[in-house]
A and B are shown apart, each in its own frame.
Chain A
Amino acid sequence: MERFPTLFFVAGVGCFAVAFLLSLVLPAMTLGNYHDMEYRTMEQLAAVPSHEFLELERVYPEAFEEAFGAADSASYAEALQLGRDLYVGQACWHCHSQYVREVANEAQRFGAPSRAQEYQNALNQPHLWGTRRVGPDLSREKGVHTNDWHVAHFLSPKNIVPSSVMPSYAYWFEADGTPKRDGFSIITYIQWLGTEEGRGEE
C-alpha cells in the first residue's frame, strides 16, 4: 500500500481515471444522446449574416468595406471569430456569464433558461459560460440592444449605465465613434449571442 507502484498506479492513474469516466465521459455520453445535438460548424452558423451585421454595413459603409469588404457569410464568419477572440482575450467572460439558470428569477431578467443544444457549435468551443456576473448574463443578448447602443456603451459604459464598472473599449473605435475592425467584430459577436436559443426544444 505505501510503496511507490501502488501510489503511482492506483491513486495517481486509477483514481483519476475513475473520476474521468464518471464526471466527464458519462455526462458527455448522456449529452450526446440528447436529440438535436449535431455540432454546428462556423460555416453553418454564419450561413446567413445577421440583421445587425448587415445594418453595420449600411450605417458605416466606408469603414465596413475597409474592414470586411462586403457583408456575406464569409465576412460574417470572420467577424464572429474575431469577435469571440476579443471576448476571450479581453476576459469579458470573467465578468459576464453565458448561461441562464432556471432559478433566482433569471428567466424573468435574462430570458429562456439555457439548453445543452445551444452550445453545440464552433463558437462554444471551448464554452464561455463564465463563473462570475459583475455585469449581466449575455446569452440572450441578441437584439436586446441596438448596434448604436453598443457603440455608445463600448465607448463609455458609464454614460449608459451610471454605476457601471465596465472599462471603456474606445480603442476599438475611431475618435468619431466609427467602429474599427475590432469594434465591428465585437458587436457582431455580441449580437449573435442567443441566436441558437430554442434549439433542442421538442
Chain B
Amino acid sequence: MSSAALATNDLPDLTRTEGRSLVEYGLVRAHIAAAGVALAISMTAGFLYSLQFLGWFPFADEYLSPGHLRLVHTNLAAYGWLVNGFTAMTYYVIPRLTGQRVWSAKIGWLIFWVWQFILVATVSGFLMNKAQAIEWGETPTGFRPGTFELNWIPVDLLVVIGAVLLIVQLMVPLYRARDQKFYVTLWYFTAGLVWLALTYLMGNVIPEWVLPGAAGAATTGLFIHDLVGLYVTPMGWGLMYFFVPLILQKPIWSHSLSVIGFWALAFFYPLGGVHHFLLSPIPDYVEFGAITTTIAIEVVVTTVVVNFFMTLKGKTSALRDSFAIRWFYVGAVMYFITCLQCSFQVTWTFQKIIHFTDWVVAHAHLIMFGTFTFWLFGTIDWLWPRVTKRKWYSRNLRAWHFWLSTMAIVIMFVDLTIAGLIAGFMQRELNPWNDILDASLPFWWVRTFSGAMMIAGLFCGLYNMYMTCRHGEPYDETESLIPLSAD
C-alpha cells in the first residue's frame, strides 16, 4: 500500500476523545505492514537456507551465504515480525483498555522508522559478517570485539534507544491509568515491556563485555529463554486475553485462572534459562533448577490454554464463522503440544538424544510459528478491516492462508521431530557422520516442501491485505456491533 494511505489518520473512529482519535491507527497500520514485509523476507531467507541442505542453494558468494541467510531468518522473525506485530497490537489495545492515548504520535513515527532502520542495519550487517555471537541476539554490536572501535552501525545501542522510547511511549497511558484496576491483558503488557528492556540489556551486554565462557553461556541461555518467555509469551497471552473475549462477545471464562497464570509466569518462567545448555559445563544444580521450573511452566501454560477453550465453549460456531478464532484455536492446540513436549524434552533423559538435532528446530517452529505467529495472524485478521476501514478483499485467500499455514506447520513439526530422533540415536550409536546426513536428507526435502507451503500461505495473506487496502469495500464499524458479522 502507499505510504500516504498508511499515514492517513483522519478515518472515522468510534472512540474519539477531545476530537482526536484514541488509537493512532496510522501507527497500527504501519507496524502491521512492516511486520508483514519482515516476515516475508524472513521466511524467504529460511526457505533459501533450507535449500543448502538439499544441495540446491542458488548463490555462491560471500554475502548471500547460507549462514548469513539463517541469521536473517531468525532475527527478522523475532525483531522484524514479532516485535513490529506486537507493537502494532499494543498501540491498539493499550489506549482502548486504559482510555488514554499513547505519549506522542510523532515519537511513534520516530520509533517506527528507527526500528525499521535497525532491521536494515542488522540484515546488511549480517551480509557483511558483522553478527554478534549471541543466539537470537546476533544484531551487530557495531564494535570490534573487546574494543570500542566502531566497525558497523551500533545496532545494539539503537535497539536499546528504540526499545526505551517504545516503552516510555506505551507506559505513559499505563501510568496515567495507574488508579484503575487493570484488565489482565495490561498486566502482561506492563510486565512484558519492562522485561523486554531488561532482557535485551542483559543478553547483549553481559556475555559480550562481562562474563566469558560458561557463565556467559548461562547468560545467553537465559537471554534466549527470556526473549521468548518474558516478551513474546506475555505479549501473546495479552493478545489472546484481549481479542478472544472481544471477538466472541463474552467474558473470559476465569479471571482468577488468568491471575494465577500471570504470577506463575512472572515467577517460574525466567528461572528456566539454563535449559538451553543442559549437560554442559554449567554447574549441575543450576541445570536441575532450570529443569524443575521448566516442568512447572507446563502448569502455567495450561492456565492459558484452559481459559481459551473454556471461553470458546458454547460458542464453537465461531470456528466456522471467524478466521480469527480459527487462528487462535489452532495456535492454542499447538501451544499445548509444544509445552507438553517441553516438559519432557527438558529432562536429561531426552536431552541426551534430542539436543543438537532437528527435534529442537521442530519445537522452535511450533512455538514461534504455530502459536505466536498464528495468534498474531488471528489478531491481524480481525483488526485489518477495522484499521483500514475496508472489508477483506477475498474470503478465499484468507482460507488459503489459514489452511496452507496449518498444514505446513503440522508437516514441518512431525517431519523434523522424527528427523531429530533418528539423527539423535544415530549420533549416540556412533554411526559415521556421512550416514547421519544421508538419513536426514529425505526429511530435509519434506521440510523444504512444508516451508514452501508456509510461504505460499503467507503470500496469499499479504496479497489479500494489500488488495483490501486498494480495492476493499468500505467497512463501517457501526454496522458490526457483533464482530463476527465482519466475516
Interface on A for B, CB 8 Å cutoff?
Answer: 1-5, 7-8, 11-13, 15-16, 18-20, 22-24, 26-28, 30-32, 39, 42, 81, 84-86, 88-95, 97, 99, 101-105, 108-109, 114-116, 118-122, 124-129, 131-136, 158, 161-165, 167-168, 170-171
- Of the candidates B132, B181, B198, B215, which one forms a contact with A2 in the assembled complex, judged by CB atoms under 8 Å apart? B181
Are A27 and B218 also in contact (CB < 8 A) when A122-B212, A135-B433 are? yes
- Of the candidates B67, B178, B181, which one forms a contact with A167 in the assembled complex, judged by CB atoms under 8 Å apart? B67
- Which residues in A have their C-beta under 8 angstroms from that of B186? 7
- Which residues in B have their C-beta under 8 angstroms from that of A12? 190-191, 193-195, 198
Flag if B187 contacts A7 (CB, 8 Å): yes
Flag if A11 contacts B217 (CB, 8 Å): no
Give CA–CA (A99, B217) in the complex, Å.
11
Flag if A97 contacts B178 (CB, 8 Å): no
Q: Which residue of B lies closest to A89 (CB)?
A: B129
A/B interface sample: 20 pairs, CB < 8 A: A8-B171, A15-B267, A19-B273, A85-B145, A89-B130, A91-B70, A116-B213, A118-B213, A118-B281, A119-B281, A126-B207, A126-B212, A126-B216, A127-B212, A127-B216, A127-B220, A163-B441, A167-B65, A167-B66, A168-B60
B349 CB to nearest A CB, Å: 10
Give CA–CA (A109, B186) in the complex, Å.
51
Flag if A31 contacts B214 (CB, 8 Å): yes
Flag if B216 contacts A19 (CB, 8 Å): no
Add 4 more A-B contacts to A4-B190, A131-B277 (CB < 8 A). Answer: A4-B177, A27-B214, A109-B430, A167-B57
- Chain B 257-298 residues near chain A, CB threshold 8 A: 259, 262-263, 266-267, 270-274, 276-277, 279-283, 285-286, 289-290
Flag if B356 contacts A91 (CB, 8 Å): no
Are A121 and B213 also in contact (CB < 8 A) when A18-B267, A94-B70 are? yes
Flag if B194 contacts A13 (CB, 8 Å): yes
- Which residues in A have their C-beta under 8 angstroms from that of B277? 99, 129, 131
- Which residues in B have their C-beta under 8 angstroms from that of A124? 212-213, 216
Q: Which residue of A lies closest to B349 (CB)?
A: A103
Closest 9 CB pairs of A and B: A89-B129, A119-B213, A12-B194, A19-B270, A91-B67, A125-B212, A133-B356, A116-B281, A126-B207
Give CA–CA (A190, B71) in the complex, Å.
21
Give CA–CA (A104, B423) in the complex, Å.
12
Flag if B216 contacts A165 (CB, 8 Å): no
- Which residues in B have their C-beta under 8 angstroms from that of A13? 194, 198
Give CA–CA (A8, B65) in the complex, Å.
43
Q: Which residue of B lies closest to A84 (CB)?
A: B145
Q: Which residue of A lies closest to B357 (CB)?
A: A133
- Which residues in A have their C-beta under 8 angstroms from that of B60? 168, 170
Q: Which residue of A lies closest to B206 (CB)?
A: A24
Give 1 or 0 for each of B50-72: 1 = CB within 8 Å of chain A CB.
00110101001110011110110
Q: Which residue of B lies closest to A115 (CB)?
A: B281
B473 CB to nearest A CB, Å: 41
Flag if A28 contacts B132 (CB, 8 Å): no
Flag if A20 contacts B290 (CB, 8 Å): no
Are A104 and B353 also in contact (CB < 8 A) when A4-B175, A16-B194 are? yes
Q: Which residue of B lies closest to A9 (CB)?
A: B194
Give CA–CA (A114, B280) in the complex, Å.
7
- Which residues in B have their C-beta under 8 angstroms from that of A5? 178
- Chain B 120-176 residues near chain A, CB threshold 8 A: 126, 128-135, 138, 145-146, 171, 174-175
- Of the candidates B198, B222, B230, B267, which one forms a contact with A23 in the assembled complex, judged by CB atoms under 8 Å apart? B222
- Which residues in A have their C-beta under 8 angstroms from that of B68? 90-91
- Of the candidates A8, A20, A81, A120, which one forms a contact with B212 in the assembled complex, judged by CB atoms under 8 Å apart? A120
Give CA–CA (A31, B213) in the complex, Å.
10
Are A23 and B182 also in contact (CB < 8 A) when A8-B194, A16-B198 are? no
Flag if A89 contacts B270 (CB, 8 Å): no
Give CA–CA (A127, B444) in the complex, Å.
29
Give CA–CA (A202, B267) in the complex, Å.
39
- Of the candidates A2, A15, A104, A171, which one forms a contact with B62 in the assembled complex, judged by CB atoms under 8 Å apart? A171
| Best-surrounded residue of B186, B191, B213 (most CB of chain A within 10 A) | B213
- Which residues in B have their C-beta under 8 angstroms from that of A4? 174-175, 177-178, 182, 190
The answer to whether the Cβ of B219 comes within 8 Å of any Cβ in the partner chain is: yes
The answer to whether the Cβ of B3 comes within 8 Å of any Cβ in the partner chain is: no
Flag if A127 contacts B286 (CB, 8 Å): no
- Which residues in A have their C-beta under 8 angstroms from that of B105? none
- Which residues in A have their C-beta under 8 angstroms from that of B479? none
A104 CB to nearest B CB, Å: 4
- Which residues in A have their C-beta under 8 angstroms from that of B193? 12
B183 CB to nearest A CB, Å: 8
Flag if A162 contacts B213 (CB, 8 Å): no
- Which residues in B have their C-beta under 8 angstroms from that of A102? 279
- Which residues in B have their C-beta under 8 angstroms from that of A119? 212-214, 216-217, 281
- Which residues in A have their C-beta under 8 angstroms from that of B133? 88, 93, 126-128
The answer to whether the Cβ of B456 comes within 8 Å of any Cβ in the partner chain is: no
Give CA–CA (A12, B145) in the complex, Å.
31
A116 CB to nearest B CB, Å: 4
Flag if B146 contacts A125 (CB, 8 Å): yes
Give 1 or 0 for each of B403-444: 1 = CB within 8 Å of chain A CB.
000000000000000000000100111100111011001001
A97 CB to nearest B CB, Å: 6
- Which residues in A have their C-beta under 8 angstroms from that of B175? 4
Q: Which residue of A lies closest to B282 (CB)?
A: A27
B151 CB to nearest A CB, Å: 9
The answer to whether the Cβ of B318 comes within 8 Å of any Cβ in the partner chain is: no
